[in-house]
Amino acid sequence: MNIGSVEWKTPPPVQIGSRVEFVARFLGRTLRYTYEFVELIPGERLVMRTQQGPFPMETTYSWAIEPDGSTRMTLRNRGEPAGFSRLMTPLMKPAMRRANRKDLAMLKALLESQPV
């Protein structure tokens, strides 16, 4: 998904139960959905879920320190499309992979351009 905006629905910082609303473009459609943070292990793992939209899903971010000192981030999305989206599943998987790669490349560029 190409995320256009994110808005806190609960006061930051992130904690279990926090909610954020995303507005994204996917397959030519604008989607608005709210994620709830359900697991948080700082520096290791973050899990958030949404029950809204055409494909309710769970997104997991995991981080691990590599032998060279860099950080590897792993992103996993899983969910079950509902309604018409279920018929589009064969097309959605590769489209989601492409959108995720694009979003992650932008995030990487942003993070690496900032002094730490």
Q: What is the tens place of the pLDDT at every residue in 15-53? A: 999 999 988 887 788 888 899 999 999 999 999 999 876
Q: Which CATH architecture has domain 2-113?
A: 2-Layer Sandwich (3.30)
Summarize pLDDT for 48-100 with one digit per residue, the tens: 999 876 678 899 999 999 999 998 989 888 877 665 555 556 666 777 778 77
pTM given for the model: 0.72
DSSP, residue by residue, 55-76? S-EEEEEEEEE-TTS-EEEEEE
- Separation CA 10–CA 14 (nearest Å): 9
With pLDDT > 90 as the criterion, what percentage of the chain qualifies?
A: 37
What is the CB neighbour count within 10 angstroms for residue 102? 13
Q: 116 pLDDT exceeds 60?
A: no
For the chain, the domains span: 2-113
Mean pLDDT of the chain: 83
